Amino acid sequence: MPALDLQQPLAADDTRILGQDPLIPPALLTSELPMTDSAVRTVIKGRNDAADIVTGHSDRLLVVVGPCSIHDPAAAHEYAARLKALSEKLADDLCIVMRAYLEKPRTTVGWKGLINDPDIDSSFQINKGLRVSRQLFVDLTSNGMPIASEMLDTISPQFLADCISVGAIGARTTESQLHRELASGLSFPVGFKNGTDGNLGVAIDAIGAAAAKHHFMGVTKQGLAAITRTKGNEHGFVILRGGSRGPNFDKENVQAAKKSLSDKSQKLAIMIDCSHGNSQKNHNNQPKVAKVVADQLREGERAIIGVMIESNINEGNQKVPPEGPSGLKKGVSITDACINWDDTITVLEDLAAAVRTRREINGRSANGHAKLPPLAAHWRIAYVLSGHGPLAPYFDDTLESSPPKKANGSEDEAPDNDLVLVTVSLEAHGDDILLLCLFAEIDSLAEAERLAQPRSLWIEGSGLDLDLHLSNSWPGLGASTATTANHVQNNAYAETRVFAIGDSDTLVSVQSTLRRMPSRLDDGGRRKQEYRMEPEDPSNLPEEALEFQPRTDKTPAAVLESRLTLPPKRTEAASEKELTSSDPTYVPATEAEGLEEIGALNTWWDQGGHWGEESEFRGFGSAEKVVDKDVVEVYLRQAVVEALALRETGAFSQWATKKWREGPRSELDQVLAAEIQVHGSQASLKGDVAAIAQNLTAESDEMEATERIRPEEAREMLKTWDASWKSLVLDDQLKFALRKRLYQLTGTLVADAKLGAAHTVRHILTLAAKKPQPKKLAELLETRSDVQELANVKVHSRKIGPIDKETALGRWKVIEEELTKRGLPVTGTAGMSKNKERDWISGKI
C-alpha cells in the first residue's frame, strides 16, 4: 500500500470510481418506445397463461425456449417468427414463451449482454443497449410472441418489465435479498433457480420471501431514488437447473423437490432447466434431459409445470472473432451453446405428446397441488338407488325402466333397489369445492358389486346441484364432513354427507349402495322420502384406493361443461284440496313467506334464456375504452352514417335495439367514406348505403378481428370533413341508436339524464368526448399545466404543514411522545396557559 502523502488532498469516497455517465430515465425511454395495443395484449395474456399453469388452473406445460442470450436483434426476430408458428400449432398442450435474455451473469468476466455492451466491442454503450433492447421487446410482443427474461439487477426492469410475461432469478442471485425484494414487486410470475451447488432450499426460501410485502430502496420511472413498497408476488416457482453436485431433473430429484416444497407449505410447481448443470454444459444433452422430463409427464407427474430450453437457429456457440461482430455467424450463440431449430421442434412436439398422455391419465387436474383441486378435477364414481321415483326425471334419457339383472341373469326381486351410476365431479372455486352429480345407468348388479369397492371419498345420500363448502378443510383432510338438504320433485327429501379421507394426491371415490327408506310425514305434515347409504360407518373403509376410469359416454357434452345446463330445482306448493285431504288439521297460510314459485311465474321455468348459457347477459359495451376525443368523434360519425343507412333502407326500426356488427377495417373505411348531406332537420347519405346496411345486419363472427382507429389517423380524417354533419337534429330513436352504437365502439356511455337535453350530433359529441372535471386542485393544476414538473417536487391536494413534514421524516412519533410526556398539547394551543413551557423547564410542573 503506498505511503500517505500529506501534501495531497485527502479523499475517502469514490476512490475506485473512474467516472459516471448519465443514464436515460426509464420514463423517457418508455415514452420514446411505447408499447402497442397488440403488445400489451400479448404480455397480459402471456402472464395470465403462465399464472394459470403455476397455480394449477391449467394443465398445459410452460415452455421457456430461446437463445442463451440475444446479441443480434435480426436473428432474434427470425427465431421468434418460427417459434410463433410452432407455438400456435402446439397451443393446446404447451404455453410457449420465448427466452429473451439481455443480461448475462458471469462467473468471472466476459460479455455481459446486449444491454451492457450492445456493440460487442467493450464500449459499454448502455444507453444504446437499453434502446435496442426495448425496441426488440416491443417488436417481439407486438408480433404476438410473449417473452421471458432474467432479472439480473434492480434498475433495468424499470426499462423493460412492461414487456415481460415470465421472469427468472438466476442461480447466483436467488439467495440475494435484493432480488427477492425485487421479485415481490414484479407484475409477472417469477421462477427461482436452485443454487450453483444444487441447493434447492435457497430457491424455496426465495419463493416465500417474494410472496411477502417489502419496503426497500429503488429507482422510480423518472430515475430518482425512492422507497419502494410492494404487495408480494404469489406466482413464484422453483427451477431445477442442476449444480456442482450433479443434475436434478430425474424422477428421484423431482420427488425430493416436491417433499421439500410441501415441508415449506409451498405449492408444487417445478420447472426443469434442460441446460446448465442438468446438461453438464453440453447442449447435445438437452434433448436427453427433455426426454426424461417427458417420460415423467407420461407417468402422470403433475408437479412439473414447465421446462426451460436454450435453443437457437443453429446449434453450438461461437467466440467473437478478431474483426468483431461483423465476423459472427448468424443464429449461433456467443454465450452458452444451444440446440438447433430442428431439434427444438422435435423436443417440443414430444413434450406436447407427453402432456396429452398426462391429461388422459389425470384428467384436466391440478399440477400437483396439495392444497386444493383445480377448477376441473377428476370424475368420481358412485352408485345410488333410483327407485324409478322422484329422481327419475333427472336421469339420462336412455335409462331403462326395467330393474337390473343379477349376476345369474335373473331379474332383481326388489325393483326399488335398482342401481344408477352417478358421475361426480369436484370443482374448486377459491376456497370452496363444488360437487356435481350426473346420472347414467348400470348394466347389472354384478357390475355394481365388482366396481363398488370403498374409495377415499365416501358419499352418503343423494341430491342435485349440491353446493358443499369444505373451506380450508381440504388439505390433510382426515375425515371432513359437510351436510346439505335438497328438495327435489314430488317433495322427495335427501340429505347428503361427504367424508373425505387421505390427501388430494390420492383422492378417489367411494362407491356404495343408496337404499330408499319408507317415506314419512314430518312435523309440518309434509311427506319426506329418505335415502340411506350403506355402509354408514366411514371407519370401515379400507386404506387402499382403486383407480377407475369414468363412464362419460352417456353424459351430454353440455352437462360436462357447465353446471348451469340443468334448470334450477323447482318446488311447487300442493293445492289446498290435496293438503286438506292428507291432513285434516291443515290451515291455509296468510302470507307467502317460504314459497319458491307462485302464480304467474309458473311458465318461467320452461322459457328459454332463464337458465344456462342463454341467461348470461352480454351488453353492448366495448371491451376497449376509447379516451382520445378525436377518435371518439370519428366513431360518432361512423354511428351517424350507419344509423342513416339503416333508416334509408327501412331496417332501422327492426335493428335499432339490436347489436350491430363490427366488421373488418375495409367496411369501416366504406362507412367513413360516405358523405353526410344535412338539409335542416333531415339528412341523407351519398355512398353505397345498401352495402353499409347489409354489413351491419350480417351475422357476426366472434373471431373476426376489428382494427381500431389510431389517434393520428382520426386527426387526419377530421381535416377532410366539414362540420355540417354535427348540426343534424336528432329524434328520440336516432339518439338512442347513436348512444348504443357509440357505447359499443368506444365504451363511452352517455348518461340518461344528459341524453334528454341533447338535440344535435354536436351535443352528443360534447357529452361523449368531454373529460370529467378534476376533483382535486392538484389534478386541475396539472391538467392546465400550471405546475411544472420539477425533480423532488410534489403537488399536494391540501396544505402540507409541519406535522406532515415531520411524519414523512419519521420524527413525528418521537415529538408526539415528548409533548405528551411534558403535558403539552400535541396540536394547537388549546388548554395551554401562558409560560407553561417555562414553568416545565424550571421544575414547577
- The predicted-structure confidence for 773-788, as pLDDT tens digits, reads as follows 555 666 666 665 555 5
262 shares its domain with 135 = yes
Q: Find the mean pLDDT for residues 481-505.
A: 28
C-alpha distance across the termini of the chain, in Å: 62
Residues 7, 13, 15, 21: is their CA dihedral positive or negative? Answer: negative
Side-chain-side CA neighbours of residue 218 (13 Å):
25
The answer to the question of residue 118 being in a domain is yes
Domain boundary among 769, 798, 825: 769
Q: How many CB atoms lie within 10 A of CB 658?
A: 11
Cα–Cα distance, 220 to 210 (Å, whole number): 20
CB neighbour class for 711 (10 Å; exposed up to 12, middle 13-18, buried from 19): middle
Residues 545 and 693 placed together within one structural domain of the fold: no
Distance CA 731, CA 739 (A): 12
Q: Do 490 and 636 sit in the same domain of this protein?
A: no
State the pLDDT at residue 88: 94
Lowest mean pLDDT among 14-23, 136-145, 468-477, 526-535: 468-477
pLDDT classification of 213: cutoffs 50, 70, 90: very high
- Predicted confidence (pLDDT) at residue 368 exceeds the cutoff of 80: no
3 state SS of 460: strand
Residue 517 and residue 479 share a domain: yes
Say yes or no: 259 and 349 in one domain: yes
Average per-residue pLDDT in the chain? Answer: 72
Nearest residue to 569 (alpha-carbon basis) of 484, 485, 487: 487
Cell of 351: 413434450
Q: pLDDT over 70 for what percent of the chain?
A: 62
CA distance 548 to 72: 53
Selection from 130, 137, 94, 99 nearest residue 114 by Cα: 130
Out of 529, 561, 593, pick the residue that ends a domain: 561
Query: Is residue 11 situated within a structural domain?
Result: no
Q: Is there a single domain that holds both residue 540 and residue 430?
A: yes
Tell me which residue range forms the domain holding 505: 379-401+415-561
> What whole-number distance in Å separates Cα of residue 639 and Cα of residue 200?
60
Confidence of residue 393 (pLDDT cuts 50, 70, 90): very low
At residue 602, the pLDDT reads 52
Angstrom distances, CA of residue 648 to CA of 565, 635, 676: 42, 20, 13
Q: At which of 530, 561, 592 does a domain end? A: 561
Please, what sign has the CA dihedral across residues 324, 325, 326, 330?
positive
Tell me if the bond preceding 535 is cis, omega within 30° of 0. yes
For residue 799, the cross-strand partners are none
CA 465 and chain centroid, separation: 27
Q: Mean pLDDT, to the nearest integer, of 519-523?
A: 54
More confident: 547 or 584? 584
Contact 152, 103 (CB under 8 A): yes
Beta bridge partner(s), residue 678: 683
| 603 is a domain residue | no
Q: Give the model's pLDDT for residue 394.
A: 33
Is pLDDT above 50 for 450? no
- What is the rounded distance in angstroms from the CA atom of residue 572 to the CA atom of residue 549? 38
Question: Mean of the pLDDT values across residues 613-640?
Answer: 75
Cα 263 from chain centroid (whole Å): 27
Give the distance, in angstroms, between the CA of residue 305 and the centroid of all CA atoms in the same chain.
16
Query: Cα–Cα distance between 232 and 214 in angstroms, integer?
Result: 7
- Picking from 30-44, 374-388, 702-716, 744-758, which range would have the lowest pLDDT averaged per residue? 374-388
In a domain, 9, yes or no: no
Main-chain phi, psi angles of 666, to 5 degrees: -60, -40
Would you say 240 and 203 are in contact if contact means Cβ atoms under 8 Å apart? no
Adjacent-strand bridge partners of 307? 63, 272
Residue 444 has pLDDT above 90, yes or no: no
| Cα–Cα distance for residue pair 423/446, rounded to 1 Å | 19
| 184 and 324, same domain (yes or no) | yes
Q: Which of 541-545, 700-704, 778-782 bottoms out in mean pLDDT, i.e. has the lowest?
A: 541-545
Q: Is the pLDDT confidence value at 516 over 70?
A: no
Q: Please check the confidence at residue 131 and state whether its pLDDT lies above 90.
A: yes
Cα torsion for 412, 438, 471, 488, to the nearest 10°?
A: -80
Task: Please indicate, yes or no, if residue 408 is contained in any of the structural domains.
Answer: no
Least confident of 445-449, 673-677, 761-765: 445-449
CB-side exposure of 135: number of CA atoms within 13 Å? 13
- 596 has pLDDT over 60: no
Q: Is the domain of 39 the same as that of 127?
A: yes
- Same domain for 396 and 274, yes or no, is no
DSSP secondary-structure letter at 564? T
Amino acid identity, residue 448?
A: A
Number of neighbours of residue 158 by Cβ within 10 angstroms = 19
480 CB burial (10 A radius; 0-12, 13-18, 19+): middle
According to DSSP, residue 725 is labeled G
Residue 684 belongs to a domain: yes
Q: How far apart are CA 394 and CA 557, in angstroms?
A: 16
Using CA of residue 603, residue 608, residue 613, residue 616, what is the dihedral sign?
Answer: negative
Tell me, yes or no, whether 426 lies in a domain: yes
The 3-state DSSP class for residue 32 equals helix
- Rounded Cα distance between 344 and 310, Å, is 9
Q: How confident is the model at residue 105 (pLDDT cuts 50, 70, 90)?
A: low
**Same-domain status, 224 and 343:** yes
Arithmetic mean of pLDDT, 368-385: 30
What is the reported pLDDT for 373?
30
Q: Are 431 and 472 in contact (CB under 8 A)?
A: yes
Helix residue spans in 274-398 (DSSP H): 286-298, 341-362
Q: How many CB atoms lie within 10 A of CB 725?
A: 20
Whether 380 has a pLDDT exceeding 80, the answer reads: no
> Which position has the higher pLDDT, 620 or 724?
724
Does the structure show a pLDDT above 70 at 467?
Answer: no
State residue 439's pLDDT score.
32
Give the lowest-confidence range in 194-208, 346-360, 740-754.
740-754
Q: Please tell me the distance from the alpha carbon of residue 300 to that of residue 667, in angstroms, as a whole number.
A: 50
Distances (CA, A) of 832 to 813, 829, 840: 21, 5, 12
* Cα angle, residue 770 at apex, residues 767 and 774 outer, rounded to 5°: 130
Task: With cut-offs at 50, 70 and 90, classify the pLDDT of residue 177.
Answer: very high
Lowest mean pLDDT among 135-144, 155-164, 397-406, 470-479: 470-479
Residue range 273-298: mean pLDDT, rounded? 95
Which tops the pLDDT comparison, 5 or 809?
A: 809
Residue 525: the pLDDT is 57
pTM for this entry? 0.49
Query: What pLDDT is stored for residue 506 in this prediction?
Result: 27
Q: Is 409 inside any structural domain?
A: no
Whether residues 326 and 237 share a domain: the answer is yes
Residue 570 confidence (pLDDT): 54
pLDDT band at 263 (very low <50, low <70, confident <90, very high): confident
**Structural domain tally of the chain?**
4
Q: Which residue has the higher pLDDT, 285 or 448?
A: 285
28: nearest Cα among 185, 155, 158, 125: 158
691 and 542 co-located in one domain: no
CA distances for 46 relative to 129, 143, 230, 240, 798, angstroms: 25, 13, 22, 22, 41
Residue 168: strand pairing partners? 150, 191
Q: With H, G, I as helix, E, B as strand and everything else as coil, classify residue 583.
A: coil
Is 455 or 451 the better-scoring residue by pLDDT?
451
- Supply the pLDDT for residue 607: 61
Report the alpha-carbon distance of residue 638 to residue 649 in Å, rounded. 17
